[in-house]
Amino acid sequence: MSKLGNLGARLHRGEISYDFIGHRKLWYGISILITITAILGLAVRGLNMGIDFQGGAVFTTAKHGSISVSQAEEAAKTASGHDAVVQKLGDGSVRIQIAGMDIEKSDEIKNDLAKDFKVDPETIAADLVGPSWGDQIAGKAWQGLAIFMVLVVIYLAIAFEWRMAIAALVALIHDITITVGIYALVGFEVTPGTVIGLLTILGYSLYDTVVVFDSLKEQTKDLTKQTRFTYSEVANRSINGTLVRSINTTVVALLPVAGLLFIGGGFLGAGTLNDISLSLFVGLAAGAYSSIFIATPLVADLKELEPQYKALKKRVLAKRAQSPAEGERGDETRTADGYDDDAEDAAPAVVGPRAQPASRGRGRGRPSGKRR
């Protein structure tokens, strides 16, 4: 842990760094490849929408230890003509979820299930969801997502600037696309819990992005007054300065979510946790990736399209061409703005304590200066 803390301190001070901005084309290419894969998965397989979105019924039997999951799946498919999602609950009861079925036939299906299970129909509880209700839920989900996006863009445009708002929006769309694509490829059911998970990870992704943007905003004040760093180099320093913090917060957040997904949903069979835990797990990882490899490099690209930063880059490169050692020198001498400028532009500094001659007659002629 001490080595990791020392690494974080050295990254923050700029003693060591990785050129994220310089390799941005590689990260853009990886992100485009993953996004295309997610879109293809979504187009080919589609989403496994739960009954809350497409309507259906949920039948829950009383405690009945002799009913297996495979028997319940076969009985439900025979009775309804649709595939069913069956879960064995902790108290021994069985939950059968049938999406897309005609809810008017629910009583008939309920009676058929009772015959197959050899139980009284009254011991089977039925919860019905109509397709119109599912459409309303889906509409509200899209509406909430759109409002979230608009508020994010407005906030970032006011707190930072419109270029950072655009970069953050691209990163958020990137995270949503990847998460939804993973859902399509894995085949997990999409429920209201999935929507909650998506909105949660978008907020987390935005948090990581804002942390880097805040550091970048602070370090680029009066940037055009110096000739040592370009905007991209300062952006790279901002990423490296917050890198360990981003990694730590992401790992701490992923550990409990991984417990829900792999232990709760996998080993313990709590399938109801899969819908929210998968969206959180994939979204947290994608959000941490996009804030470092997508959002900040995109801001650097947009900023260096401005005339002032184009001119700054030319001045910096011209100065380095005249004195190659300038680019290799560390950050030993910085001006009050935080950047090392031309030696002739900086005011001479006094190093060490100022030497003053000792006065032997100090205190003479004063009452308090009497010698003993």
For 295-317, b/e burial (b = at least 16 CB within 10 A) is bbbbbbbbbbeeeebeebbeebe
The 8-class DSSP code of residue 264 comes to I
Cβ atoms 162, 297 nearer than 8 A: no
**Residue 345 within a domain:** no
The 8-class DSSP code of residue 128 comes to E
Q: Is the torsion defined by CA of 203, 11, 167, 214 positive or negative?
A: positive
pLDDT tier for residue 166 given thresholds of 50, 70 and 90: very high
CA distance 227 to 223: 8
**Residue 336 within a domain:** no
**Residue 265 within a domain:** yes
CA distance 204 to 208: 7
Chain segment 134-149, per-residue pLDDT in tens: 677 778 878 888 888 8
261 and 146 both lie in a single domain: yes
Residue 40 pLDDT > 90: yes
124 and 137 both lie in a single domain: no
Specify the amino acid at residue 245.
Answer: R
Burial of 329 (0-12, 13-18, 19+ CB in 10 A): exposed
Token code pair at residue 114: 């009772």
Cβ atoms 240, 20 nearer than 8 A: yes
156 and 291 both lie in a single domain: yes
99 and 176 both lie in a single domain: no
Quick one: pLDDT at residue 154?
92
pLDDT tier for residue 65 given thresholds of 50, 70 and 90: low
CA distance 193 to 141: 11
**Residue 344 within a domain:** no
Burial of 360 (0-12, 13-18, 19+ CB in 10 A): exposed
Residue 77 pLDDT > 50: yes
Chain segment 80-114, per-residue pLDDT in tens: 777 787 777 666 678 888 876 776 778 888 888 88
**CATH number of the CATH domain containing 182:** 1.20.1640.10
Residue 186 pLDDT > 80: yes
Q: Where are the beta strands (DSSP E) in the chain?
A: 48-49, 56-60, 84-88, 94-99, 125-129, 189-190
**Residue 324 within a domain:** no
Number of independent structural domains in the chain: 2
pLDDT tier for residue 14 given thresholds of 50, 70 and 90: low
Residue found by looking up tokens 């929408």 in the block: 49
Residue where one domain finishes, among candidates 308, 328, 350: 308
18 and 141 both lie in a single domain: yes
Residue where one domain finishes, among candidates 269, 291, 308: 308
Residue 342 pLDDT > 60: no
CA distance 142 to 124: 34
Residue 333 pLDDT > 80: no
Strands 189-190 and 84-88: what pairing? Answer: unpaired
Domain that holds residue 168: 2-49+133-308
11 and 151 both lie in a single domain: yes
239 and 294 both lie in a single domain: yes
CA distance 290 to 201: 12
Residue 43 pLDDT > 80: yes
**CATH number of the CATH domain containing 116:** 3.30.70.600
pLDDT tier for residue 322 given thresholds of 50, 70 and 90: confident
106 and 196 both lie in a single domain: no
Cα–Cα separations (whole angstroms), residue 1 to 5, 227, 248, 251, 324: 6, 37, 11, 14, 38
148 and 63 both lie in a single domain: no
**Residue 28 within a domain:** yes
24 and 143 both lie in a single domain: yes
82 and 205 both lie in a single domain: no
Residue where one domain finishes, among candidates 113, 129, 145: 129
Task: Provide the percentage of residues in the chain whose pLDDT is more than 70.
Answer: 76
**Residue 356 within a domain:** no
Specify the amino acid at residue 344.
Answer: E
Quick one: pLDDT at residue 196?
81
CA distance 300 to 219: 13
Chain segment 293-318, per-residue pLDDT in tens: 999 999 999 999 999 989 999 999 98
78 and 226 both lie in a single domain: no
Residue 236 pLDDT > 50: yes
**Residue 253 within a domain:** yes
